[in-house]
Amino acid sequence: MGLMHTLLLSCRKAAELIEQQSFAPLPPGQKVQLWMHTRICAGCKVFQHQNELMDRLLEQRVAEPLPIPTTQLEKRIIAAIDNHN
Ligand SMILES: [Zn+2]
């Protein structure tokens, strides 16, 4: 396995790591791999941002119900994730 192969993630693997990151911090090696991937892959970068946004919204929602309806936003995020896959 060459160095580039080790460093470059597939989008599928990157998406896996992004989802994993919502539950637990990634090991440093995978964190670097994901960081590098999102430098060069706009699709996964967007996916990562949406994932982080979703996590924040969900956390807020657990802490206190949001005064604004987020159904439309959630639908848009889910649609964007579907498009990405
Ligand atoms: Zn990608």
Give the span between the Cα atoms of 85 and 78, in whole angstroms: 11
pLDDT of residue 83: 83
- Give pLDDT tens digits for 34-79: 999 999 999 999 999 999 998 888 888 777 765 677 888 888 989 9
Q: How many Cα atoms are found within 13 Å in the side-chain-facing hemisphere of 41?
A: 21
Q: Where are the domains of the chain?
A: 3-84
Residue 23: pLDDT above 90? no
pLDDT of residue 39: 94
pLDDT of residue 1: 47
Residue type, 59: E
**41 CA from centroid of ligand 1 (Å):** 5
Residues around the ion ligand 1 (C-beta < 5 A): 11, 14, 41, 44
- Render the burial of 44-53: b for 16+ CB within 10 Å, e for the rest: beebbebbee
Residue 3: pLDDT above 90? no
**45 CA from centroid of ligand 1 (Å):** 7
